[in-house]
Amino acid sequence: MALARAAGVTTGLFLAYYLLPLDERPTAATWAAFVCGLVAVVLVFLWELRAILRSPHPRLRAAEALAATAVLFLVLFAAFYYLLERASPGTFSEALTKTDSLYFTLATFATVGYGDIVARSQTGRLVVMIQMAGGLLLVGVAARVLVGAVQTGLRRQGREPPPD
């Protein structure tokens, strides 16, 4: 069930990304929504940690938590890159469609950075740096916190994980 929920959340977030009309020009409200989105990523992560600690299957719940948090993080940045390019054409080395924005977001997150799309404007580079730092935190710190939550959840159930 946890894997089905993770797949459902992932599918829902990607569907929302492609179906939402992101055709408006970014304003101060867009920046505020972006910051609120980043806060939402943290809140979703904290909510998922709580769920892991209470779950009878903390390992599965951790996989679900990572899927939900990572996909929300990626979709948030893809949407913002798309809006940023629409508001300020030339922010990136080429005009971005929604798929291009998602591709650029994933390439940056995976640190492969093929170089085919690059941020040209200072604003674009700033947002990319925020994504890079957030991605490192998500992968490094969040993964460690999730492992700790799984171990704590297992200990609470008397199912201590085997020593490393």
Q: Which domains does the chain have, with CATH numbers?
A: 2-11+31-156 (1.10.287.70)
d(CA 70, CA 64): 10
d(CA 19, CA 106): 19
Task: Say which residue the tokens 């201590």 belong to.
Answer: 160
Q: What are phi and psi of 80, to 5 degrees?
A: -70, -40
109 in Cβ contact with 86 (< 8 Å):
no
d(CA 125, CA 114): 16
Q: If you average pLDDT over residues 151-158, what whole number do you get?
A: 80
d(CA 57, CA 127): 36
The better pLDDT of the pair 164, 28 is held by 28
pLDDT digits (tens, 9 = 90+) for 81-108: 998 898 889 999 999 999 999 999 999 9
User: What does the block give as tokens for 27?
Assistant: 């304003």
d(CA 70, CA 72): 5
In this prediction, residue 3 has a pLDDT band, given cuts at 50, 70 and 90, of confident
d(CA 31, CA 146): 29
Calculated CA dihedral for residues 75, 138, 67, 129, nearest 10 degrees = 20
In a 3-state reduction of DSSP, which class is residue 81?
A: helix
Tell me which DSSP letter residue 119 carries: B
14 in Cβ contact with 75 (< 8 Å):
yes
pTM listed for this prediction? 0.79
pLDDT digits (tens, 9 = 90+) for 124-138: 899 999 889 888 887
Q: If you average pLDDT over residues 25-31, what whole number do you get?
A: 72
